[in-house]
Structure 1
Amino acid sequence: MLSVIGCLLALYLVWRVIWPLRLSRPVRIVLGLLVVALALHHRIVAQFAGTMASPEIPTAMIAVLATGFTTLLISAVFVLVLDALLLIARLVRAQRVLPMLRAAWLRPAAGTLALLLSAYGIWQGMAVPKPRQIEVAIDGLPAAFDGYRVLQLTDIHASRLLTGAWVEKVVTESNALHPDLVVITGDLIDGSVSARANDFAPLASLHAPDGVIAITGNHEYYAQYAEWMQAFRGQGMQVLENTHTQVQRDGATLTIAGVTDPVAARYGLPMPDLTAALAGADPQAPVILLDHRPVEARANAAKGVALQLSGHTHGGHILGMDQLVKRANGGFVSGRYEVNGMTLYVSNGAGLWPGFAARIGVPSEITLITLRPR
Structure 2
Amino acid sequence: MMIALLLVVAVALLTSVHWYVWRRTVRDVSAPGSRWRRSGTVLLVVLPLLSVGALVGGRAFPLAVERWFAWPGYLWLAVLLYLVLALLVGEAVRPLLNRLLRRGPGSPEPVPADVAVPAASAGTGASEPVSESVSGPAPTPVAGGPVDPSRRLLVARGVAVAAGGAALAVVGNGAYGVLRGPRLKQVTVPLAKLPRRAHGYRIAVVSDIHLGPILGRSHTQRIVDTINRVQPDLITIVGDLVDGSVPDLGPAAEPLAQLRARDGAYFVTGNHEYFSGAAPWVEFVRSLGVHPLENARTELAHFDLAGVNDLAGTAEGHGPDFDRALGDRDRSRVAVMLSHQPVTVYESVRHGVDLQLSGHTHGGQLWPGNYLAELANPTVAGLERYGDTELYVTRGAGAWGPPVRVGAPSDITVVTLASRQA
TM class by shorter-chain length? 0.7 to 0.9
Give the whole-Å Cα distance in 2 for the aligned partners of 1:139 and 1:97: 67
The answer to whether the 8 Å contact 2:342/2:377 transfers is yes
1:167 alignment partner, one of 220, 228, 240 = 220
The answer to whether the 8 Å contact 1:54/1:190 transfers is no
**How big is the shift at 1:180?**
1.0
- 61-70 or 205-214, larger mean C-alpha shift: 61-70
Summarize deviations over 1:291-315 as a string: whole Å, max 9, x none.
Answer: 1111232442233111111111111
The answer to whether the 8 Å contact 1:67/1:115 transfers is no
**How big is the shift at 1:146?**
1.4
**1:106-125 equivalences in 2 (<5 Å):** 106-125=159-178
The answer to whether the 8 Å contact 2:48/2:73 transfers is no
Q: Evaluate the alpha carbon distance shift between residue 322 and residue 256 of structure 1 in structure 2; reply closer, same or farther with a 3 A threshold.
A: same
Summarize deviations over 1:28-56 as a string: whole Å, max 9, x none.
Answer: 36534532443343432466x53489964
Q: Show the counterpart of 1:313.
A: 361
The answer to whether the 8 Å contact 1:43/1:52 transfers is no
The answer to whether the 8 Å contact 1:322/1:333 transfers is yes
- Look up the equivalent residue of 2:169 and give its one-letter code: L
2:304 alignment partner, one of 248, 255, 260 = 255
TM-score (norm 2): 0.77
- 271-280 or 186-195, larger mean C-alpha shift: 271-280
- Look up the equivalent residue of 1:80 and give its one-letter code: L
- Look up the equivalent residue of 1:263 and give its one-letter code: A
Give the whole-Å Cα distance in 1 for the aligned partners of 2:62 and 2:362: 17
**1:32-71 equivalences in 2 (<5 Å):** 32-45=41-54, 49-51=57-59, 56-57=64-65, 62-71=70-79
In the alignment, does 2:206 pair up with 1:206? no
In the alignment, does 2:407 pair up with 1:358? no
Higher Cα radius of gyration: 2
Q: Evaluate the alpha carbon distance shift between residue 324 and residue 52 of structure 1 in structure 2; reply closer, same or farther with a 3 A threshold.
A: farther
The answer to whether the 8 Å contact 1:302/1:340 transfers is no
Q: Evaluate the alpha carbon distance shift between residue 39 and residue 64 of structure 1 in structure 2; reply closer, same or farther with a 3 A threshold.
A: closer
2:373 alignment partner, one of 308, 325, 332 = 325
**How big is the shift at 1:317?**
1.5
In the alignment, does 2:226 pair up with 1:192? no
Summarize deviations over 1:224-278 as a string: whole Å, max 9, x none.
Answer: 2211111011111211122222112xxxx41112122222244x23222222321
In the alignment, does 2:348 pair up with 1:295? no
**1:4-15 equivalences in 2 (<5 Å):** 4=11, 6-15=14-23
Give the whole-Å Cα distance in 2 for the aligned partners of 1:291 and 1:101: 56
**How big is the shift at 1:343?**
1.6
Give the whole-Å Cα distance in 2 for the aligned partners of 1:356 and 1:312: 16
**1:275-294 equivalences in 2 (<5 Å):** 275-294=323-342
Q: Show the counterpart of 1:348.
A: 395
Q: Evaluate the alpha carbon distance shift between residue 146 and residue 124 of structure 1 in structure 2; reply closer, same or farther with a 3 A threshold.
A: same
TM-score (norm 1): 0.86
2:26 alignment partner, one of 18, 24, 42 = 18
**How big is the shift at 1:287?**
1.2
Give the whole-Å Cα distance in 2 for the aligned partners of 1:238 and 1:287: 17
User: How many residues are treated as equivalent by the alignment?
Assistant: 361
In the alignment, does 2:317 pair up with 1:264? no
**How big is the shift at 1:7?**
4.3
Q: Evaluate the alpha carbon distance shift between residue 113 and residue 205 of structure 1 in structure 2; reply closer, same or farther with a 3 A threshold.
A: same
**3-state DSSP of counterpart to 1:336:** strand
Give the whole-Å Cα distance in 2 for the aligned partners of 1:343 and 1:206: 26
**How big is the shift at 1:336?**
1.4
Give the whole-Å Cα distance in 2 for the aligned partners of 1:54 and 1:274: 37
Give the whole-Å Cα distance in 2 for the aligned partners of 1:356 and 1:84: 28
The answer to whether the 8 Å contact 2:267/2:290 transfers is yes
**How big is the shift at 1:206?**
0.6
Summarize deviations over 1:102-160 as a string: whole Å, max 9, x none.
Answer: 92121332122101211111111212112111111012112232111111111111223
Q: Show the counterpart of 1:231.
A: 284
**3-state DSSP of counterpart to 2:203:** strand
- 51-60 or 234-243, larger mean C-alpha shift: 51-60
Give the whole-Å Cα distance in 2 for the aligned partners of 1:326 and 1:110: 28
The answer to whether the 8 Å contact 2:208/2:238 transfers is yes
- Look up the equivalent residue of 2:26 and give its one-letter code: I
**1:96-175 equivalences in 2 (<5 Å):** 103-104=155-156, 105-175=158-228
Gaps of 5+ in 1: none
Q: Show the counterpart of 2:89.
A: 81
- Look up the equivalent residue of 1:66 and give its one-letter code: Y
The answer to whether the 8 Å contact 2:354/2:388 transfers is yes
The answer to whether the 8 Å contact 2:331/2:352 transfers is no
The answer to whether the 8 Å contact 1:6/1:73 transfers is no
Q: Evaluate the alpha carbon distance shift between residue 15 and residue 263 of structure 1 in structure 2; reply closer, same or farther with a 3 A threshold.
A: farther
**3-state DSSP of counterpart to 2:416:** strand
